[in-house]
Amino acid sequence: MAISKKVLEFNKNDDEMRLKISTLEQKLAIIYEGGGKKRIEKLHAKGKLSARERIDLLLDPESDRFEMGAIAGYGMYEKHGGCPSAGVVVVIGYVQGKQCIVVANDATVKAGAWFPITGKKNLRAQEIAMENKLPIIYLVDSAGVYLPLQDEIFPDKEHFGRIFRNNAVMSSMGIVQIAAVMGSCVAGGAYLPIMSDESLIVNKTGTIFLAGSYLVKAAVGETIDNETLGGARTHTEISGVCDYSTETDEECLSTIRDLMDKIGFTETAGFDRKDSLPPARNPKDIYGILPEQRSKPYNVKDILKCIVDESKFTEYKANYGKSIVCAYARIDGWSVGIVANQREIVRTASGEMQFGGVIYSDSADKASRFIMNCNQKNIPLVFLQDVTGFMVGSKSEHGGIIKDGAKLVSAMANSIVPKFTIVMGNSYGAGNYAMCGKAYDPRLIVGWPTAEIAVMSGASAAKVLLQIEVASMKKRDEEITPEHKKELFDKIKNRYDEQTSPYYAASRLWLDAIIDPVDTRKIISLGIDMANHKKAEKPYNVGVIQT
């Protein structure tokens, strides 16, 4: 029996996605080793656990978790020896049934020193805690600022000092902060434990001081060892900086679990949840649905059926503005409003063709109204991005595409219900903004291995830049052969393609993570559970909108 073309296409897409996921898993396996197995063995020889081992012991066994920023720093700082996971592990998980965010310095990466991307990742962790009123636990083991790059991490607004400003702000917000000093805690970083609600220190391995013994000797001529200067006994019996002294990493983590167990529950944001029901369609069908070639059309509703409970959703204005699909559904029991780009080529009621991945005026208008409705009903929003931008040309401009796009951006940007963004494929230009890109404060933003984020595709950018280069050469009366033209095009495209890669985006924290599409349900559910800790602080108001 002959296999249909549709089945062959599905299988080809499936193979390509599985290959991308395998590549992701291989990269993550290396990243999870931090500074390498030998450095982990050195930690163990000192009686210390690695950052990820500490987190594993701290979190509830077999509970859901999400590691934010595992790919941060990927491919960066190579001349400095690299900085896997930005030298700090950040995980959203559960301790004694209470959701929290854990920030653990990785001492195998330059002794836990802070690179510029380390500061950015720590600030992102604190931002998540503040947005969602989520308890935050710091597992401190850091040598402080990485001095060769101090000018990029020390003095500016979003640099190292912002961490301690946020400590103070979070305390005033009533957000629980617990700090455990399980290694070095030096210089400005020494303020972190005392600015937290409670602090712990591990005997013989944890130390806190503004200046170590060598600097003390140089500065004031005093000869003293680090343990006497700022060890556990000093800070629990003499200075009073720390509240609890423990003998081992394991005891320290057990004590934190005891402290978390006593925290009371607070009011919620009131997001609706019922019993979770699995999708009727296999979530792994996503692998075969999403085309291998990113220019090919597909029906995003097939993707929705792999993500939402029972594969059921109620589509809003189904026959209007078809290049965006808006729908009410449930994900892991949570009520959600979904705004998804439609890549299928569709025909409007007037007979016009709408091409996939493009936002038209009617689509922008529909999505704006839908977002307002979700805010009115207190329903979290999920954006599924596969967008090439807004429709261009005289017809669109005369029809007011800029006005309709502004309406969508305003409705989305002012949303008071939490927003979650999944970059499935393309995320180009103003489409990235309108569909809740990183600049518009999604509570979490993740990408599939097929994601691309840029002003435009590599091929489109290369064509534009090549035209500029050719025009410049003609002005200089330089000839350009077809071969030279192709060479220039390929060079520009390859450079641009590297920058549109999801790994490039995730390394710089434009994405919180790259995930297996099958994990999309889990990430959204964990995110809404997190957002449910904090009520909106203001009423929904979109301001001035041209209609």
pLDDT score for 487? 81
pLDDT higher than 80, residue 479: no
Which residues, 6+ apart, have CB-to-CB distance to 145 below 8 Å?
113, 114, 153, 154, 160, 187, 188
- How much is the mean pLDDT over the chain? 91
pLDDT higher than 60, residue 213: yes
Q: Report the b/e string of 231-263 with b at 16+ CB within 10 A.
A: bbebbbeeeebbbbbbebbeebbebbeebbeee
Place of tokens 């922008």: 364
pLDDT higher than 80, residue 136: yes
What integer is the mean pLDDT of 148-155?
87
User: Any idea which of 145-149, 245-249, 488-492 has the lowest mean pLDDT?
Assistant: 488-492
pLDDT score for 247? 96
pLDDT score for 179? 96
What integer is the mean pLDDT of 201-206?
95
Q: How far is it, in rounded angstroms, from Cα 347 to Cα 219?
A: 76
516 neighbors 27 (Cβ within 8 angstroms): no
Which residues, 6+ apart, have CB-to-CB distance to 158 below 8 Å?
119, 120, 123
Q: How far is it, in rounded angstroms, from Cα 67 to Cα 93?
A: 9
pLDDT tens per residue across span 304-354:
999 999 999 999 999 999 999 999 999 999 999 999 999 888 776 676 766
pLDDT tens per residue across span 529-545:
999 999 988 889 887 77
User: At how many degrees (to 10) do helices 116-132 and 161-172 cross?
Assistant: 10
CA separation (Å) from 336 to 47, 170, 397?
46, 28, 33
pLDDT tens per residue across span 361-402:
999 999 999 999 999 999 999 999 999 988 877 887 877 788
pLDDT score for 546? 65
Query: Which percentage of the chain shows pLDDT scores above 70?
Result: 98
271 neighbors 337 (Cβ within 8 angstroms): no
Q: How far is it, in rounded angstroms, from Cα 276 to Cα 274?
A: 6
pLDDT score for 547? 64
| Cα distance between the two ends of the chain | 56
